[in-house]
């Protein structure tokens, strides 16, 4: 290991774990027999956190801003429904005021609009407004809450796709780094063998040059793999941690694939659990209630008010009328009621304009619902076909990786026996690297395909 590689391992615990695993596998020894806790503690200052896919999802739900924005909008829509419902119910208020008017010398105020020199108001008020517009607004708020709930579910499932792709991208990038280390070691070993054979006169100098070129190429590939591993590691860290934290490792478990249901089962789940359809349907219902609210603007509105308390010249339940002799005691505490009927007559076409505007929004909501239905049918077939095809290819990719490893072993033996060329060895090495990387990419593609399918069906 050169100085640059040792420095990189000290900076990144992920590289340390991958390097230790590769060295242990190359030596054929168990990790528990070779690892030295004191030596590892000198490199890693703290124990890295082990993150599973479920851990990553849980952390991302608390820290990913787009998902949190969708939840916030859902909460706002829920409170808007509460507020619109409150408009339909009676509300109680307390009013207290004091009015002073300059007197005219005989106990009356100089302003005839006022009821005396001193006027005290202390009343409880119950107000109820009866309006079809308020009813339509409440129903619209209910559908907007359902729309926000469906959009939050869409955001949650979209977050699962993002985290699945990023998480397993980091897993496979770590695996590709290990593959690149293995390939670089094999290329260097082959270069050493060709050098010895050339010095013994068994192979030409062209074989040595070819082996040297292969070793240099694999070293560059190793650096690129390390760069990609660091990048994917940082990308996942940004999504799952509230602060910048690189000290974690991911669990390499793409082998646990699970069963894929039949298309009939998937179709049933999509029909029952598709949030895109729920969102489009809620949007259409909200637009219908918007039209109803606009039409109800032509109808009259009735307001009812009930007052209980005092509105008198003395702040007391019982007062004295001093304007007459002898003075008369009065009861100030009492109640009153008022009813107001408001009938719209003319507003320069504003109500008609609101109806037309609401109808335009309703027509657009119908188009969105129709498009969502067509898109769901197309996406369902597409996502299911992708998952099914990739699942069937995984066995072939695994077998190709095993065959490539066996081919490299046999080709290396044939080369040492003088029966194969250096070009065949280099080609076998490259084929093995490509086959192993393709198998890892296939596992990630299947995970992402299933996550995309579950955006329409929910978990299965």
In degrees and rounded to multiples of 5, residue 248 shows phi and psi of: -155, 160
Tell me the HSE value of 267 on the side-chain side, using a 13 A CA sphere: 7
Is residue 298 within 8 A of residue 351, CB to CB? The reply is yes
Element (H, E) at 118: strand 118-130
**Phi, psi for residue 255 in degrees, rounded to 5:** -70, -25
Tell me if 289 sits within 8 A of 388, measured CB to CB: no
pLDDT at 297 over 60: yes
Q: How confident is the model at residue 460 (pLDDT cuts 50, 70, 90)?
A: confident
- How far apart (Å, rounded) are the C-alpha atoms in residues 134 and 82? 13
Using only C-alpha atoms, the chain has a radius of gyration, in whole angstroms, of 39
Position 322 confidence tier, pLDDT thresholds 50, 70, 90: low
| Cα–Cα dist 444/442, whole Å | 5
Whether residue 28 is predicted with pLDDT greater than 50 in this model: the reply is no
Q: How far apart are CA 437 and CA 441, in angstroms?
A: 6
User: How many other C-beta atoms can be found within 10 angstroms of the C-beta atom of residue 215?
Assistant: 21
**pLDDT given at position 26:** 36
How do the domains of the chain map onto residue ranges? 48-89+131-299+344-457, 90-130+300-343
Q: How many angstroms separate the CA atoms of 315 and 269, rounded?
A: 69
Per DSSP, what are the bridge partners of residue 310?
122
Interval 64-100: pLDDT, tens = 999 999 999 999 999 999 999 999 999 999 999 988 8
7-22: per-residue pLDDT in tens?
Answer: 444 444 444 334 433 3
pLDDT, tens digit (0-9, with 9 covering 90-100), for 128-143: 999 999 999 999 999 9
Which CATH number among 1.20.272.10, 3.90.1150.10, 3.40.50.300, 1.20.1600.10 corresponds to the domain 48-89+131-299+344-457? 1.20.1600.10
Confidence (pLDDT) at 27: 36
Q: Enter the pTM of the model.
A: 0.78
For residue 219, how far is the Cα from the chain centroid?
38
**Is 62 or 12 the better-scoring residue by pLDDT?**
62
5 has a pLDDT exceeding 50: no
The pLDDT, as a whole number, for residue 117 is 83
CATH 2.20.200 given to domain 90-130+300-343: yes
By the 8 A CB rule, do 388 and 374 touch? Answer: no
| Per-residue tokens: 404 | 């490539």
Q: 92 φ, ψ to 5°?
A: -115, 130
């Amino acid at each position: 290991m050169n100085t640059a590689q040792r420095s990189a391992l000290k900076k990144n615990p992920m590289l340390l774990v991958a390097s230790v695993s590769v060295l242990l596998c190359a030596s054929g020894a168990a990790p528990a027999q070779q690892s030295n806790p004191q030596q590892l503690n000198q490199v890693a200052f703290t124990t890295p956190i082990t993150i599973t896919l479920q851990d990553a999802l849980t952390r991302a739900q608390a820290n990913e801003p787009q998902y949190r924005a969708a939840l916030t909008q859902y909460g706002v829509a829920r409170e808007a429904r509460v507020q619109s419902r409150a408009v339909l119910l009676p509300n109680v208020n307390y009013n207290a005021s004091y009015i002073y008017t300059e007197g005219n010398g005989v106990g009356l105020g100089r302003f005839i609009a006022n009821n005396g020199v001193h006027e005290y108001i202390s009343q409880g008020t119950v107000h109820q407004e009866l309006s079809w517009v308020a009813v339509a607004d409440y129903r619209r708020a209910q559908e907007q809450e359902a729309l926000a709930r469906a959009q939050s579910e869409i955001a949650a499932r979209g977050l699962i796709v993002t985290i699945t792709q990023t998480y397993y991208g980091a897993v496979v990038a770590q695996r590709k780094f290990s593959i690149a280390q293995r390939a670089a070691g094999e290329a260097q070993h082959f270069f050493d063998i060709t050098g010895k054979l050339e010095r013994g006169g068994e192979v030409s100098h062209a074989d040595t040059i070819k082996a040297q070129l292969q070793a240099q190429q694999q070293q560059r590939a190793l650096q690129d793999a390390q760069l990609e591993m660091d990048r994917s590691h940082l990308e996942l860290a940004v999504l799952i941690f509230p602060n910048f934290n690189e000290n974690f490792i991911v669990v390499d478990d793409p082998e646990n694939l699970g069963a894929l249901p039949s298309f009939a089962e998937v179709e049933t789940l999509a029909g029952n659990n598709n949030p895109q359809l729920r969102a489009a349907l809620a949007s259409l219902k909200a637009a219908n209630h918007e039209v109803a609210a606009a039409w109800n603007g032509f109808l009259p509105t009735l307001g009812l008010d009930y007052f209980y308390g005092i509105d008198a010249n003395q702040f007391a339940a019982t007062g004295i009328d001093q304007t007459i002799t002898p003075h008369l005691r009065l009861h100030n505490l009492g109640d009153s009621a008022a009813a107001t009927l408001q009938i719209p007559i003319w507003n320069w076409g504003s109500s008609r304009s609101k109806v037309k505007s609401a109808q335009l929004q309703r027509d657009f909501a119908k188009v969105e619902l129709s498009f969502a239905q067509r898109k769901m049918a197309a996406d369902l077939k597409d996502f299911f076909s992708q998952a099914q095809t990739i699942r069937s290819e995984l066995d072939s990719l695994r077998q190709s990786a095993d065959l490539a490893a066996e081919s490299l072993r046999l080709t290396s033996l044939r080369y040492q026996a003088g029966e194969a060329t250096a070009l065949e060895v280099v080609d076998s090495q490259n084929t093995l690297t490509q086959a192993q990387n393709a198998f890892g990419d296939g596992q990630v593609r299947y995970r992402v395909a299933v996550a995309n399918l579950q955006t329409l069906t929910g978990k299965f």
